[in-house]
Structure 1
Amino acid sequence: MLISVQALRALAAWVVVCHHFMQIFFDFHAKGPVGQFFVDRGAVGVDIFFVISGLVIYLSTQNKDMPAGRFMVNRIIRIVPAYWVYTAAMGLLLVVASPLLPHQVISWQNFILSLLFIPSENPGGYGMYPTLNVGWTLNYEMFFYLLFSLVFLVHQRHRPLVVAAALFAVSEVLTRYGWISHFYRNDIVYEFLLGIGIGIIYSRGWITPRLWLPLLAIAGAFVTIYHLPPSQRFMNWGLPSALIVVACISLEPYFQGNRLFKVLGDCSYSVYLLHVLVLYGGWLASERYGLNPYAVFAVCVPLIAVGAWGSYEFIEKGLYLRLKGWLDKRRAVGEAVALSRHNY
């Protein structure tokens, strides 16, 4: 894994944390330019995540052939356990503290559909959001993984075209005729293709190490994001996010060997899942005891960081390795039995 990309993943996760801090504590009403940036543009962390996701999936499967089912199982055991843990935790929080949390409502139907990554209207009435609100992005992730699994049916060089065609068919055709949820009719899904494109040019050695040009590109991309609204998300935020990813890869020599950035990147998924729970806990404490929101946030940040590290080590990585080991063992036993029958 590129350490520069790991660092960018961490940055994207913490930008989203700041965005939701402004939402939960201030209802998206900012008093200064920094706060206003996180209110208006903090959600761009999701766009950066999607571009990185396309890049990582492409690079991790490049020149590999495997059954589509095995690819999906590997993604499921990597993504699902942590998401289910924090969805259950959020559900419990809503049951216990629902009267104290504005606009947060839970229903069994929405909860079950959330666990299955099926988009549904949140009972709070504010859109297509699962019980753990940040999980809306994982509905797109699982959708992308499902379509990407089709690439293992074709030759390596045709795979990007297959993914692009499948994304277009679902997002522009099936949703238009109501055959699949309109949730997927969103140009944000094409940001995964930007990541695949970056993976292609990186594999061909077209991204060369530099310093000042990538830094200028990153600055220009953030200026663009700051001045353009997310109304046309792919164009206004997706393309600048892709430029940031390319620039960070070009800066890779300056990140190599940095273990801190690697750890921060490793923990970014758990940061993303965990932070809303911690922020809601901080908000409840601030409301009850009249605490300064920024002082509470200063406490929430290390709690999120430490909690995310533990979550990565024991839930993400720990469960993933156990489940993968168990599945590999069952697969080996099955192959051995099939071979013995064939020889017999």
Structure 2
Amino acid sequence: MHESAAVLTRGRRLRFGGANLLRSLAVLAVLYSHISYYLIDDLGTGWWLIDAVYATLVAGLGLNQHLSFLGVAIFMMLTGLLLTASVLRHPPGRFLVNRIGRLLPALWVAIALAVLLVKLGVNGMFSGQDGITTGQSALSFVLGGFFLKPEVAVLGVTWTLVVQIVFYVYSVLTRPLLRAVPIAVPVLGAVLCCLVLLYNLYVPQPYSVPMLTKVAATLPAVFVGQILYLAWTRMASWRWISVAALAQAEVVVLATDIRAYWAGDRYLWTIAVVAAAVLALARYDGPLARWSVVRWTGTRSYAIYLLHTLILYRAYDWTVALVGKTGAVVVFLTATAIAAELLYRGIEVPMGRWIGSVASRIGAPPPRERDPSDTAGSA
């Protein structure tokens, strides 16, 4: 059965020429955030760039210390913006295989490296344990360590993939609603996020699931991206767009009040700033968006995101005495760029092509058999 023209219009693609520019800004914010956390909170030192960023973006623009959540919010908002059309266009099985499948190969390589570095004593755990067991290692490959009590995180940054996968599954489950009443999907999402936050706040151990608080507090950034898509495609009126946006704001306010966030109380403002940046840049297709450095950083942003914390701490510690703080950061960035290029070219691209090929066959109609009565035509 073919989809109607109206459904195809609702699932139409918009051209987002600034997506790589936004990904580049996001990954740079994440890199800065972890450098700042390490130098300020762990080492008790500083750096000239941290002073400059604090003066302009933290004290000046009012963002969180260390630019906490800024990069994550950009990545999350892009997820909602770019994938809403995809879930409408593609059959659920194809969508899930394509999206989750593309995350897994690079994730598994990064997790394997993280486990190896912990076993060798080069790196420590991101959740405070002295080491990691075989069972915990196995769970980490499916992000299960985040749901243990206490949490086991061999590669801390991968918690955001839990948020993305939850959004993928939610999108598939609410696909009929998205087709019928699109704006109801982010509104319902806000209600569910509030319920999860309240559940974990009032239900005692061992019945609470702390990781879900983090997921529920982060999903509003994804839903804001979805709301922007619905606004740009005129799938909802501005009145309901405003209602949906306010619903996400209420979730963020609740999450802030119950201290579901991990640094500061400026998360609502951060999401508002990110939304403004996405509005300004997502459809920008000027020279800056086509700059080769931006394109390289944007396309490698996932690999950079996965690998950078495996490299940062030892690269800095081993070189800072020789080349100084700025030199040590340059060494870290160079090593991360090389590792990300290898992961991108060696795993992410070839596996992504193969998974895309597999996904494209899911839900596709079988090839039409040739009717024996057909003729090849006269000579």
Q: TM-score, normalised by structure 1?
A: 0.76
Instruction: Give matches, 1:2-151, under 5 Å.
Output: 2-26=16-40, 27=42, 29-31=44-46, 34-35=49-50, 37=53, 40-62=66-88, 64-66=89-91, 68-97=92-121, 103=128, 105-118=131-144, 120=146, 128=151, 130-151=153-174
Contact 1:187 1:233 in 2 (8 A): no
Alpha-carbon spacing, 1:59–1:328, altered in 2? closer, same or farther (3 Å): closer
Contact 1:81 1:319 in 2 (8 A): yes
Contact 1:151 1:162 in 2 (8 A): yes
State the partner residue of 2:268. 235
Contact 1:47 1:241 in 2 (8 A): yes
Alpha-carbon spacing, 1:260–1:86, altered in 2? closer, same or farther (3 Å): same
Contact 1:190 1:234 in 2 (8 A): no
Gaps of 5+ in 1: 207-228
Find the residue that maps to 1:106 and give its secondary structure: coil
Q: Deviations over 1:222-268 (max 9, x none)?
A: xxxxxxx9544551321221111112136444545444423321111
C-alpha separation between the residues in 2 aligned to 1:256 and 1:18?
21
Alpha-carbon spacing, 1:101–1:234, altered in 2? closer, same or farther (3 Å): closer
Q: Give 2:224's aligned amino acid.
A: L
C-alpha separation between the residues in 1 aligned to 2:85 and 2:186?
14
Alignment RMSD (CA, Å): 3.6
Matched, 1:270 2:303: yes
Contact 2:96 2:168 in 1 (8 A): yes
Gaps of 5+ in 2: 1-14, 55-64, 237-261, 371-379
Matched, 1:182 2:210: yes
Contact 1:188 1:234 in 2 (8 A): no
**Candidates 181, 193, 213, aligned match of 2:223:** 193
State the partner residue of 1:285. 318
Alpha-carbon spacing, 1:101–1:159, altered in 2? closer, same or farther (3 Å): closer
Alpha-carbon spacing, 1:69–1:40, altered in 2? closer, same or farther (3 Å): same
C-alpha separation between the residues in 2 aligned to 1:159 and 1:308?
37
C-alpha separation between the residues in 2 aligned to 1:87 and 1:249?
31
Instruction: Give matches, 1:202-221, under 5 Å.
Output: 202-204=232-234
Contact 1:191 1:234 in 2 (8 A): no
Alpha-carbon spacing, 1:309–1:160, altered in 2? closer, same or farther (3 Å): farther
C-alpha separation between the residues in 1 aligned to 2:301 and 2:284?
20
Contact 1:230 1:236 in 2 (8 A): no
Q: Give 2:280's aligned amino acid.
A: A
State the partner residue of 2:5. none
C-alpha separation between the residues in 1 aligned to 2:155 and 2:47?
29
C-alpha separation between the residues in 2 aligned to 1:50 and 1:99?
28
Matched, 1:246 2:279: yes
C-alpha separation between the residues in 1 aligned to 2:317 and 2:95?
41
Q: Give 1:292's aligned amino acid.
A: G
C-alpha separation between the residues in 2 aligned to 1:20 and 1:14?
10
Find the residue that maps to 1:246 and give its secondary structure: helix
Contact 1:4 1:252 in 2 (8 A): yes
Q: Deviations over 1:280-304 (max 9, x none)?
A: 33035238x7653331211221222
Identity across the alignment (%): 22
State the partner residue of 1:215. none
The more displaced of 21-30 and 85-94 is: 21-30
Q: CA deviation at 1:171?
A: 5.0
Q: CA deviation at 1:11?
A: 1.5
Q: Deviations over 1:28-70 (max 9, x none)?
A: 63535741547532441111111111111124345x141x222
C-alpha separation between the residues in 1 aligned to 2:185 and 2:94?
19
Q: Deviations over 1:105-156 (max 9, x none)?
A: 3233443332223353689x7xx46211111111111111111112333452
Q: Deviations over 1:86-106 (max 9, x none)?
A: 011011001101587894632
How many residue pairs match? The answer is 310
C-alpha separation between the residues in 2 aligned to 1:171 and 1:109?
33
The structure richer in helix per residue is: 1
Find the residue that maps to 1:120 and give its secondary structure: helix
C-alpha separation between the residues in 2 aligned to 1:79 and 1:282?
26
